Structure 1
Amino acid sequence: MTDQTKDFSLTGLFGVKDLDVVITGAGTGIGFYMAKGFAVNGAVTHIVGRRKEKLEEAKAAILELHQDARVQIHAADISSRSEVNALASSLSKVDVLINCAGIVLPDDPCTHLSALPELQKALLSSPPETWSNTFSVNVESVFYLSASLLHLLAAAPNGGRIINVSSIGSIMSDPNTHQPAYQASKAAVNHLTRLLASKFRNCGITVNAISPGYFPSQMQNPDNPKSMLARAKDLVPLKRGGEEEDAAGTAIWLASRAGSYVDGQIISLSGGREWA
């Protein structure tokens, strides 16, 4: 292709029209923001989640924005391999997979200032289910769904894309947080992203992760004055929390021609919080 025939227009570089995009955890939060961005811009948007009613609410909200949006609902628990198998069997075309579903199960609060007996008691109070359930949803589902859709992603005409959603909690070690299973699981997502990128490089599939900071979601309640999101103006160098367009725009970039040369990367989406 010569320079004269290359398409440097916005639709050429960032266009996602007619792409089939599968987004887990799309009923609420960051997954929902991404679903809105793709659907409004012409993608066939497959929204996946455990709660059908939340997916129906999300679809209705998207159709209010754009009445011609193509949104398909898939109620599935992606921590269940049988339900992932059923989901994969129901799909015939996938250009982009966004693994956004995640859970956080906080443990008893403790910090570096806690007396040793209280610190140890708080840490040991974490039930085994916290760790197994967190890793099942946040890590294993990413691996198994990506592998289950591998043949469809490899058949994508312009190359398949996998976008995993991590967290700044994957690299930050703030002693005031009490989510060790969640933070460890997101660190695992970062490395799994690089592992899958290396595994899939001959299949025409890129694999990257977005590492969000403080966005409105079920995990971040802006009405709680102690939440990280409510304190974002004090914590984040850009003096604000993340907004819907920030999440949608970054995902669209990675899914479009503009992001086609990015592979095996963890993209920070935190307003600079990681380094300040």
Structure 2
Amino acid sequence: MTDSGMFEKLFDVSGKVVLVTGGSRGIGLAIAEGFVRSGARVYICGRNAEACTLAVKELSQYGEAIALPANLGAVDGCRSLAQALGEQEDHLDVLINNAGALWAETLAEYPESGWDKVFDLNVKGSFFLIQALTPLLEAAASPEDPARIINIGSIDAFHVPKHETYAYSSSKAAVHHLSRHLAAQLAPRSITVNVIAPGMFKSKMLEGTLERRGEEAVLAPVPLKRFVAESDMAGTAIYLASRAGAYVTGAVLPVDGGTATTL
């Protein structure tokens, strides 16, 4: 007979050490708030130190949040962040790779600088941060309760977008595949790697599209006819980070109101 206490704590993440990149706004802030409210100690990383400080001030009313600003578009920034975290913690239970960039431009005018900015942060930054943090993740890992890496992908990686966001959609497809590759490599070390692929979240990235097309047109292909909510993202991340998600690795979970089923 299974211990009933295990079921009562299936989604418990209290006491876990969590790092959320891109955590000062949007999806990252929503996920960070979910973990803080659930009793985790959450480190917020973003490029803008002031924005990180403001986010931590907001989150601290619910629990424990600490700012660790860094530029993750450069390998040195990834290593510096890992070093800074290692000076405060001897392990890391959960890494949320959410920091990302988008660049939209016509095919004829798409700049190399825009392409590099997107890939440097979305793909290279995620990989080298994982590389730098693997020792801290291993220190938290066990077969029964693995350390968790959760990469934020996109449903744009499932289909060809109508917008000219060539680097963004390509980078998110790379994140999905890289995550599966890392899941296979890190499983023997009791570290899981999964992807949350959100649909349309009311973020800064979506502002231009909403202004041009309007909410009704934007939501037309979404079966559940609403935007991704903060609780949708936080809840999925907590599931993957808790006992409930301990045996899940190499998965890409769409959080998109059913949009992926209509593509």
Q: TM-score, normalised by structure 2?
A: 0.92
**Which residue of 2 is the match for residue 140 of structure 1?**
124
Write the deviation string for residues 38-73 of structure 1: whole angstroms up to 9, x where unpaired. 001110000000001111221122234x2xx11010
| Paired AA for residue 96 in structure 1 | V
Q: 1:260 to 1:74 in 2, by over 3 A?
A: same
Cα 1:209/1:223, change in 2 over 3 Å = closer
- Whether 1:31 aligns to 2:28 is yes
Q: Mark the runs of 5 or more structure 1 residues left unpaired by the alignment.
A: 109-122
C-alpha separation in 2, matches of 1:225 and 1:151: 45
Q: Read off the aligned partner of 2:124 and give its amino acid letter.
A: E
CA distance in 1, matches of 2:242, 2:213: 34
| Aligned residue identity for 1:165 | I
Percent of aligned positions that are identical: 37
Give the partner amino acid of 1:248: A
Match of 2:157 among 143, 163, 170: 170
**C-alpha distance in 2, partners of 1:216/1:153?**
31
1:96 aligns with 2:89: no
Q: Which residue number corresponds to residue 180 of structure 1?
A: 166
The separation in 2 between residues aligned to 1:190 and 1:133, in whole angstroms, is 19
Q: Which residue of 2 aligns with 1:115?
A: none
Could you tell me how far apart the structure 2 residues matched to 1:229 and 1:150 are? 41
The equivalent of 2:49 in structure 1 is 52
Report how many residues are paired. Answer: 255
- Are the structure 2 counterparts of residues 230 and 104 from structure 1 closer, same or farther at C-alpha, using a change threshold of 3 Å? farther
**Contact 2:210–2:218 (Cα < 8 Å) also in 1:** no
Equivalents in 2 of 1:230, 1:74: separation in Å? 38
1:128 to 85, 106, 112: 112
Do the aligned partners of residues 204 and 179 (structure 1) sit closer, same or farther apart at CA in structure 2, a change above 3 Å counting?
same
- 1:232–1:240 contact (8 Å) kept in structure 2: no
**Which whole-Å CA distance do the structure 2 matches of 1:229 and 1:35 have between them?**
27
Q: Which residue of 1 aligns with 2:39?
A: 42
Instruction: Give the aligned residue type for 1:249.
Output: G
Q: 2:103 aligns with which of 89, 92, 105?
A: 105
AA aligned to 1:151 is P
Between the aligned partners of 1:153 and 1:245, the Cα distance in structure 2 is 26
Could you list the structure 1 runs, at least 4 aligned residues long, displaced by more than 6 angstroms after superposition.
Answer: none
Q: Distance in 1 between matches of 2:111 and 2:38?
A: 43
Partner Cα separation in structure 1 for residue 173 and residue 146 of structure 2: 26
Residue matched to 2:240: 254
Q: State the match for 1:87 in structure 2.
A: 81
The one of 263, 266, 270 equivalent to 2:249 is 263
CA contact (8 A) 2:43 2:68 kept: yes
Determine if contact 1:216/1:222 at 8 Å carries over to the other structure: no
* Superposition CA RMSD, Å: 1.7
Segments of structure 2 that go 5 or more residues without pairing to the other structure are none
Q: What is the one-letter code of the residue matched to 2:189?
A: C
Contact 1:170 1:187 in 2 (8 A): yes
| CA-CA distance at 1:124 after TM superposition | 2.6
Q: 1:84-126: CA deviations, max 9, x gaps?
A: 1111112232100000000001012xxxxxxxxxxxxxx1311
Sort the Cα spacing of 1:5 and 1:236 in 2 relative to 1 into closer, same or farther, 3 A: closer
- 1:14 paired to 2:1: no
Tell me which amino acid in the other structure corresponds to 2:164. Answer: H
How far residue 229 of structure 1 moved from its aligned partner, in angstroms, is 5.9
Structure number with larger C-alpha Rg: 1
Whole-Å separation in 2 of the counterparts to 1:135 and 1:227: 27
Residue 39 of structure 1 aligns to a residue whose secondary structure is: helix
Letter in structure 1 aligned against 2:132: S
Q: Separation in 1 of the partners of 2:208 and 2:110?
A: 26
